[in-house]
Chains A and B, each alone.
Chain A
């Protein structure tokens, strides 16, 4: 059930009405019930997976805290972590590992008959499995470190993992940000509904007007990339950068808006990454809940452990983190290259940070901003070619064509193309104003009721007139 479907809107209206009718102390129960329904709507059998993860993680955390010895606590901790990672690996990576194994076997297989993979699993991964396991693992690490008390209420803990606004694609919410809000649950407040609806509309605009509009051209070109010219593929790569941002940040705005209407503040996941001046800064602004998760639980422990290596500890930790982060997106070499590209640039930026800083002092600030932003967006768009392609060969073929820039531009349906440019422009200008001139004048938060209303009416009219309503699923749904 995607957020921009009629079925979901109906589901949410009923959910919200009953939610605020229920006495405060029973609302956790309603969060679980709606979460289970939302989950079962996609695939009823798989509901067993998040319920199992919730129960195992809940029991393990309490037992770790009660354990008589540190050794016993560590054993329980490892068992729970392995269970979580095991489920994730089983559902997402079994085919990748068995396929790779069979490919290597065939490489050394001298007979002409190539073996096909007998272990191929024909199953889809359960909805949001990566997000649920990451939240569970983060929770276990915090309890093990002794930073927080284990949750005593199984219902509250299950409600945390099954809160439906964040099931599909995050944010990767920390238990200790969510659980206190669940316990101090508050009555209906005008601000929650008003701010929540506004954020939802902004997300809906990004998804329906920008992302799904761009996806028409992007899909048409990428699905037949062999027949398209270098210049067409270059424009498509840039369109895909905007599509990806509008799709994922649009989803997140909708998720945060829905949660806010229910009285919850979820973690901010995007902070206008298209205005980052370096890849290092970019990862502080893009998918923040996941990048801070990786920083805290993966990157930092590695870098600290290897800190005697000096600067190389950073390179080693960056590469390992970004390769795993790439692989997290899916079992495909394209994602590993995507991750490695970011690990590489992050390392280069780290080594050159002092010389770049000296250089910055010699050039005007505006020039530095423009070149920094252009380079960062360009590099991210480049890495997204690997992210989007089905195979590494496909990505390399696209790159080869882009470098030569030969051939004619694919100009089919000029109005759609023009509209794509216009909607990118609108989204970019609104964010540009927020980034650089936030204090000057605001449409969305204007004190005058009329200005605010006009702004959101404009977004709604754009959605109704130019929104693509059969666009389909969010890109990050599959992860």
Chain B
């Protein structure tokens, strides 16, 4: 799966968890860009992504994501 396909799958998860239908994602998007994305919802988001792709992130990975691009790298490593 390439980056664009992954983003296509991430968008509905983000929209659902963060309850915001206007979310647009790129690899450069950070938590600063989306009002509802804070340290509380970040955990919910992580769990939803893990369930969707049936993967498990390491705690260290989750804490080191700086933007959506880092998150995509983590997902790619596990599903490809």
- CA–CA, A300 to B42, complex, Å? 9
Decide if A378 is an interface residue (CB 8 Å cutoff).
no
**Quick check: B60 and A145 within 8 Å, CB to CB?**
yes
* Chain B residues, Cβ within 8 Å of A353: 19
Complex interface: chain A residues within 8 A of B19 (CB): 353-354, 357
Please state if A307 and B47 are interface contacts (CB–CB under 8 Å): yes
Contact B63 A304 (CB under 8 A): yes
Tell me, rounded to whole Å, the shortest Cβ–Cβ distance linking B48 to chain A.
10
Contact A313 B40 (CB under 8 A): no
Asked whether A300 and B38 contact (CB < 8 A) given A308-B47, A314-B43, A354-B19, the answer is no
- Check A303 against B59 for contact (C-beta < 8 Å): no
Tell me if B39 counts as interface (CB < 8 A to partner A).
yes
Contact check: which of A280, A296, A305, A310 meets B38 at CB < 8 Å?
A280
Known contacts A307-B47, A308-B47, A357-B19; A350 and B40 CB within 8 A of each other: yes
Find A295's partner among B39, B44, B46, B59 (CB 8 Å cutoff): B39
CA of A353 to CA of B39, assembled, Å:
14
Task: Assess A304 versus B40: contact at CB under 8 Å? Given A145-B60, A354-B19, A357-B19.
Answer: no
Q: Which residue of B lies closest to A291 (CB)?
A: B39
Question: Of all chain B residues, which has the CB nearest A318?
Answer: B40
Selected contact of B59 from candidates A301, A314, A357, CB within 8 Å:
A301
Which residues in A have their C-beta under 8 angstroms from that of B43?
A: 303-304, 307, 313-314, 317
Chain B, range 32-74, C-beta contacts under 8 Å to A = 38-40, 42-44, 46-47, 59-60, 62-64
Chain A residues with Cβ below 8 Å from B63 are: 145, 296, 300-301, 304
Q: Quick one: which of A280, A296, A304, A308 has the most chain B CB within 10 A? A: A304
Q: Which of B39, B60, B62, B63 has the most CB of A within 10 A?
A: B39
- For B, the interface residue count at a CB cutoff of 8 angstroms equals 14
Q: In the assembly, what is the distance between CA of A159 and CA of B80, in Å?
A: 48
Closest to B46 in A: A307
Check if B59 sits within 8 Å of A305, measured CB to CB: yes
Contacts of B39 in A (CB 8 A): 295, 299-300, 303
Which residues of B lie under 8 Å from residue A318 when comparing CB positions?
40
Q: Find chain B residues with CB under 8 A from A186 CB.
A: none
A303 to B46, CA, bound (A): 11
In the complex, A280 Cα to B36 Cα: how many Å? 11
A311 at the interface (CB under 8 A from B): yes
For chain A, the bracket of interface size reads 20 to 34
Residues on A with C-beta less than 8 A from B59 are 301, 304-305
Number of A-B contacts (CB under 8 A): 42
Contact A314 B62 (CB under 8 A): no
A131–B3 Cα distance when bound, in Å, is 43
Question: In the docked arrangement, what's the CA distance between A282 and B62, Å?
Answer: 25
Chain A residues numbered 409-432 whose CB sits less than 8 Å from any CB in chain B: none
Q: How far is the CA of A280 from the CA of B38 in the complex (A)?
A: 10
**A296, A300, A357, most chain B CB atoms within 10 A:** A300
- Within the assembled complex, what's the spacing in Å between the Cα atoms of A303 and B39? 9
Report the separation of the CA atoms of residues A326 and B40 in the bound assembly, to the nearest whole angstrom.
19
Q: How far is the CB of B37 from chain A (nearest CB, A)?
A: 12
User: What's the nearest-Cβ distance from chain B to residue A323, in Å?
Assistant: 17
Q: How far is the CB of A143 from chain B (nearest CB, A)?
A: 14
| A314/B46 in contact, CB under 8 A | no
Cα A313 to Cα B47 in complex, Å, equals: 11
User: In the complex, how many angstroms separate the beta carbon of B16 from the nearest chain A beta carbon?
Assistant: 11
For residue B46, which residues in chain A have a CB less than 8 angstroms away from its CB? Answer: 304, 307
Q: Kindly list chain A residues whose C-beta atoms are within 8 Å of the C-beta of B38.
A: 280, 284
Residues of A close to B60: CB separation below 8 A: 145
Min C-beta distance of B75 to chain A, whole Å? 16
A246 CA to B59 CA, complexed, in Å: 39
Contact between A314 and B47 (Cβ–Cβ < 8 Å)?
Answer: no
Mark interface residues in A267-303 (1 if CB within 8 Å of B CB, else 0): 0000000000000100010000000000110011101
A280 CA to B37 CA, complexed, in Å = 12
B62 touches A304 (CB 8 A): yes
Interface residues of A in 137-170 (CB under 8 A from B): 145, 147
10 smallest beta-carbon distances between A and B, as pairs: A303-B43, A304-B59, A295-B39, A307-B47, A304-B62, A307-B43, A354-B19, A350-B40, A314-B40, A300-B63
A residues with CB within 8 A of B: 145, 147, 280, 284, 295-296, 299-301, 303-305, 307-308, 310-311, 313-314, 317-318, 346, 350, 353-354, 357
| A300-B42, A313-B43 known, 12 other contacts, Cβ within 8 Å | A145-B60, A145-B63, A301-B59, A301-B63, A304-B46, A304-B59, A307-B43, A307-B47, A308-B47, A314-B43, A314-B44, A317-B43
27 residue pairs bridging A and B, Cβ less than 8 Å apart? A145-B60, A147-B64, A280-B38, A280-B40, A284-B38, A296-B63, A299-B39, A300-B39, A300-B42, A301-B63, A303-B39, A303-B43, A304-B43, A304-B46, A304-B59, A304-B63, A307-B43, A307-B46, A307-B47, A308-B47, A310-B47, A311-B44, A314-B40, A314-B44, A318-B40, A346-B40, A350-B40
